[in-house]
Structure 1
Amino acid sequence: MVTPDDISAAAARIAGHVRRTPVVEGIGGAVSLKLEHLQHTGSFKPRGAFNTLLSGGVPKAGVVAASGGNHGAAVAYAAKSLGIQAHIFVPEIAGPSKIALIERTGAKLTVVPGAYANALEAAQSYEAETGAMQVHAYDAPGTVAGQGTMMAEWEEQGLDADTVLIAVGGGGLIAGALAWLGGRRKVVAVESTGTATLYNARKEGPESTIQPQGAAANALGAAKIGRIAYNLAERDDVQTVLVDDDAIGAAQTLLWQEVRQLVEPAGATALAALTSGAYQPEPDERVAVLVCGGNIAPDPLS
């Protein structure tokens, strides 16, 4: 299990390699928004990538990662920054803007037919053949501890909320938040109806799988929840809220209209729980929302 001490160590390790992302006054009923989509490569993912690579043990063969796009870009960026060879595997549904983002880092890139699970299988084969180190997108202690630095940073910035809404794909981000908070605040998992890994796992068991689909699938499209996230969600009895693609699109539009932030569907998923009414706070409940990814497709300036 990842501990607050692990996250504190990760924060010290990655200092100077990641951005301290801003917090703004909220919209849609949110007290505050943490704009983690302004992190390097457009998502929170560099936190886990840098923590893993800086923890040591990287072989001469370098690193390999499977990703729906954001994790791959983060690993590629971190590897380039540290002078490490990287090979990234992404599924076709990653889309041209995320594929181009990875290509700009100079990492070797392989696009795999199918979904994230297919890219992971290809990355695991490459790992076995070459001896490269696998940097898992969400279900590894180094990744989770790195992602947990986001919540530690948010509290340092004066987070004033009873409840924090976080979008879930494979679960690395929410796992880091839960590990850091240890039950001190309520954390609500928000998933799209097409990528409901945690919701499904808590009904059917941790090994149950889904077929990811919908607007957020190229970022939240894991086939099953990570075991670290599942265990922490069970420990804290985390509430899971589902939102549909129309609600996510409306939240994207609101973020642009109100605070001029362009975000991808995954980045607006947590806010969609509030704006759609899928999550209804109590009258005096203070709520905060994490905006996790900004790699909108197509790239508006491409």
Structure 2
Amino acid sequence: MHQLTYGDIKAAADRIAGRIRPVTLAPLDPGAIRTGHRDPLDDRPEQTCQVWLALKFMQHTGSFKARGAQNFIQAHRDAGTLPDAGITIASGGNAGLACAWAAQQQGVRATVFLPITAPQVKAARLRDYGADVRLVGTEYAEALAACEEFAASTGALASHAYDHPLIAAGVGTLLEEINQQIPDLDTVVVAVGGGGLFAGIATAAQRHEIRTVAVEPTNCRALNAAIEAGRPVDVPVDSIAADSLGARRTSALALHAARHDRVHSVLVPDTEIASARLPLCCMPLVAWGVVATP
């Protein structure tokens, strides 16, 4: 697979310009972060830092994934490889919503596969974006198999939630926008699931000499385990954050990005995740993006 480069992210930024909402940043109130937990990876003299939150829930469809979906479709349109059968994906979550929305915006057919056990509200939201929703099987794996069969038989373009360079490049544009708004950006903290967001952010951050901290739940550590093993491996998924970060295996793109010298992997127990959620309870997706300046 093509490894992600900074050039891919710059190209994605040009493609999706005007098609997505610019990222909104908000400074965290002074004293909002508990003291006494010095970062063991940071050997610099202790200093006060300003922490900003990237409010990615304000993006179209409510997540950063709209960026990747737009870049994926537009890149294929520009290359003349967007088929008449449209685009297809197996996902009832943010990736499926982003795919359906981006397809609707560009007048492309979208066929989304879900297990019959998926909440009706998810199917309804997908249909609101004009997607053809197909309910197959009782597990995600069955819906994915049906999606792959549909792509093979119809020629539809198969998308992925995170494991594709165009998807990762699209979401990596976030770091470009953040760095423009905060030119003295020092560190970006990224919650990691499958690794698409992380791969994009870490690749752009490396170019700007910004440290990336990849954060995963202790019992949901696909990227951390891949770094340890030297290759993507399957891991158990058992965390209160599994609904959004519950990938069983990270992508090769993410592992490649994790090998940059300014990347650090950190594990957080569920007790700490639950504690951190409390001050953010009124903004449920804020914690997905944290940036810090000296």
Question: Where does residue 106 of structure 1 map in the other structure?
Answer: 130
Residue 268 (structure 1) aligned to one of 287, 291, 294: 287
Equivalent AA in structure 1 for residue 283 of structure 2: Q
Question: Where does residue 249 of structure 1 map in the other structure?
Answer: 274
Deviation at residue 97 of structure 1 after TM alignment: 5.0
Residues 110 and 189 (structure 1), Cα distance of their counterparts in 2 relative to 1, 3 Å cut: farther
Matches within 5 A, 1:57-68: 57-67=81-91
Residues 94 and 268 (structure 1), Cα distance of their counterparts in 2 relative to 1, 3 Å cut: farther
Q: Deviations over 1:116-164 (max 9, x none)?
A: x554333222211221101122121111110111110111112543221
Counterpart check, 1:12 vs 2:14: yes
Query: 2:88 aligns to what SS in structure 1?
Result: strand
TM-score, structure 1 as length reference: 0.79
2-structure distance, mates of 1:216, 1:103: 27
Residue 216 (structure 2) aligned to one of 191, 195, 202: 191
Deviation at residue 239 of structure 1 after TM alignment: 1.9
Question: Where does residue 26 of structure 1 map in the other structure?
Answer: 28
Deviation at residue 261 of structure 1 after TM alignment: 1.6
Please say which of residues 40-49 and 93-102 is displaced more in the overlay. 93-102
Query: 1:235 aligns to what SS in structure 2?
Result: coil
Residues 132 and 194 (structure 1), Cα distance of their counterparts in 2 relative to 1, 3 Å cut: farther
Gaps of 5+ in 1: 272-285, 289-302
Q: How many residues align?
A: 267
2-structure distance, mates of 1:95, 1:206: 34
Equivalent AA in structure 2 for residue 255 of structure 1: L
Residues 100 and 199 (structure 1), Cα distance of their counterparts in 2 relative to 1, 3 Å cut: farther
Residue 35 (structure 1) aligned to one of 52, 55, 60: 55
Equivalent AA in structure 2 for residue 45 of structure 1: K
Please say which of residues 15-24 and 83-92 is displaced more in the overlay. 83-92
Residue 206 (structure 2) aligned to one of 182, 200, 207: 182
Residues 205 and 253 (structure 1), Cα distance of their counterparts in 2 relative to 1, 3 Å cut: same
- Given that 2:53 and 2:287 are in contact with CA atoms closer than 8 Å, whether structure 1 keeps it comes out as no
- Given that 2:223 and 2:255 are in contact with CA atoms closer than 8 Å, whether structure 1 keeps it comes out as yes
TM-score, structure 2 as length reference: 0.81
1-structure distance, mates of 2:16, 2:115: 28
Residues 93 and 214 (structure 1), Cα distance of their counterparts in 2 relative to 1, 3 Å cut: farther
Equivalent AA in structure 2 for residue 164 of structure 1: V
Question: Where does residue 99 of structure 2 map in the other structure?
Answer: 75
Please say which of residues 179-188 and 49-58 is displaced more in the overlay. 179-188
2-structure distance, mates of 1:193, 1:132: 38
1-structure distance, mates of 2:221, 2:142: 18
Identical aligned residues as a percent: 39
- Given that 1:169 and 1:221 are in contact with CA atoms closer than 8 Å, whether structure 2 keeps it comes out as yes
2-structure distance, mates of 1:211, 1:37: 28
Query: 2:260 aligns to what SS in structure 1?
Result: helix
- Given that 1:171 and 1:226 are in contact with CA atoms closer than 8 Å, whether structure 2 keeps it comes out as yes
Deviation at residue 92 of structure 1 after TM alignment: 7.1
Equivalent AA in structure 2 for residue 17 of structure 1: R
2-structure distance, mates of 1:58, 1:175: 25
- Given that 1:192 and 1:269 are in contact with CA atoms closer than 8 Å, whether structure 2 keeps it comes out as no
Counterpart check, 1:225 vs 2:241: no
Counterpart check, 1:127 vs 2:146: no
Query: 2:54 aligns to what SS in structure 1?
Result: strand
Question: Where does residue 292 of structure 2 map in the other structure?
Answer: 287
Equivalent AA in structure 1 for residue 244 of structure 2: A
Q: Who wins on radius of gyration, i.e. which is larger?
A: 2
- Given that 1:190 and 1:270 are in contact with CA atoms closer than 8 Å, whether structure 2 keeps it comes out as no
Equivalent AA in structure 2 for residue 241 of structure 1: V
Q: Deviations over 1:17-44 (max 9, x none)?
A: 1001210112543611111111111100
Matches within 5 A, 1:38-49: 38-49=58-69
Q: Deviations over 1:192-223 (max 9, x none)?
A: 23431101212234231124343332322222
2-structure distance, mates of 1:163, 1:119: 38
- Given that 1:251 and 1:269 are in contact with CA atoms closer than 8 Å, whether structure 2 keeps it comes out as no
2-structure distance, mates of 1:76, 1:228: 24
Counterpart check, 1:54 vs 2:80: no
Residues 252 and 110 (structure 1), Cα distance of their counterparts in 2 relative to 1, 3 Å cut: farther
